[in-house]
Amino acid sequence: MPPFSLWCPILAVTAALVVVQPPAPSPGQTPMPVHPHTAQGGANAGTARGTTPNVATPGQAAADRPLPDRFGTGRPFSPYVPWPTSRLRVRVIDGRTLEPLPGAEVVLIETEQRLTTGPDGFTPWFDAPVIRNPRYRPMVAELHGQLGVIAYKNGYRDSIHLGIRMHEGIPTETTVWMYKIGPQDRRIEPVLYQEPYHHIWLVELADKFRSRTQPGEGPERP
């Protein structure tokens, strides 16, 4: 039996190896961000309330962790599962005369689908994915997905149209303006139009993180 003075360092080293805890941030040091999938009140706070929290243990492989239900569809998110799709058609018009532009080529950026507008300026209806920005956790998930298209037509500036609002299960239309290249145009570059976020979502987003000490405009009142 070794003496007590020999046991003490052995026990101390063993305890240090078994109990592994992240160090607490010192004052002035920014704490490490908590992974949204593992944070309480994070990924599954809205949908899996009352169930076992989705907390990964150290050493557990990322692939073994249950994936969160990102879109409230009842299915866990997986990059290998096809995105939900919805019907979309794009109308291309002349930005000055507002007349439809037939024969313009429209490319859906996310899927590289290529379509051509008909005599009425519309592309045929086609299936397009509903992609929500993965930066946002499900609790602040966008109320609509977003897509981008580029329209090309000879004699016109290229038009890039981003932020097309897509919703599951309902058809969507969008209009792309194109501008004719004139003799005065020397530096010819694409034209960008960015659809703004829906303001219903912006109101909801701002309210989610409002603090009591700095309420800003405060919650909406009647």
Partner 1 sequence: MHRLPKAILTVFAAFTCLANTTGRAQARQPWTVDNTPEPAVIRVAIRSENPSGEADPRGRIMYVQTVPFIQYCEDVLPNEWMPSWHIEALKAGAMAVKMFAWYHHLHPITIDGFTFDVDNTVNFQTFRYLSRQPDTNRAILAIRPYAYVKPDGEIVELNYRAGIRDDPNWQYRNAQKMAQWGSQYWAERGRNWLQILQFYYVDRILRQYRVR
Quote the longest CA-to-CA distance of the chain. Answer: 98
Shorter beta-carbon distance to partner 1: residue 59 or 222? 222
Residue 110: strand, helix, or coil: coil
Using the contact rule CB under 8 A, the part of the chain among 11-19, 58-66, 71-79, 163-171 near partner 1 is 163-171
Binding mask 131-150 vs partner 1 (x if CB under 8 A, - otherwise)?
Answer: ------------xx------
Asked if residue 158 binds partner 1 (CB under 8 A), the reply is no
Structure tokens at 29: 């040091």
Asked if residue 216 binds partner 1 (CB under 8 A), the reply is no
Structure-token match 């966008």, residue found = 142
| Contact call for residues 60 and 146 (beta carbons, < 8 A) | no
Distant-in-sequence, close-in-space partners of 149: CB < 8 Å, separation ≥ 6: 90, 106, 107, 108, 109, 160, 161, 164, 174, 176
Asked if residue 169 binds partner 1 (CB under 8 A), the reply is yes
Shorter beta-carbon distance to partner 1: residue 169 or 183? 169
Distant-in-sequence, close-in-space partners of 123: CB < 8 Å, separation ≥ 6: 89, 90, 91, 92, 106, 115, 116, 117
Binds partner 1 (CB under 8 A): choice among 199, 212, 213, 218: 199
Q: In angstroms, give the least distance from the CB of 203 to partner 1.
A: 4
Show contacts with partner 1 in window 28-87 (CB under 8 A). Answer: none
Instruction: Please state, in angstroms and rounded to a whole number, the distance separating the CA atoms of residues 67 and 69.
Output: 7
Shorter beta-carbon distance to partner 1: residue 34 or 206? 206
Q: In angstroms, give the least distance from the CB of 95 to partner 1.
A: 11
Q: In angstroms, give the least distance from the CB of 221 to partner 1.
A: 8
Q: In angstroms, give the least distance from the CB of 17 to partner 1.
A: 48
Q: In angstroms, give the least distance from the CB of 206 to partner 1.
A: 10
Shorter beta-carbon distance to partner 1: residue 14 or 168? 168
The contacts found for 208-214 with CB under 8 angstroms, 24 or more apart, are 208/139, 208/140
Structure tokens at 157: 């500036």
Q: In angstroms, give the least distance from the CB of 126 to partner 1.
A: 15
Neighbours of 222 (CB within 10 A): 2
Q: Can you give the binding site for partner 1, defined by CB under 8 A?
A: 91, 93, 143-144, 165, 167-175, 193-196, 198-200, 203-204, 220-222
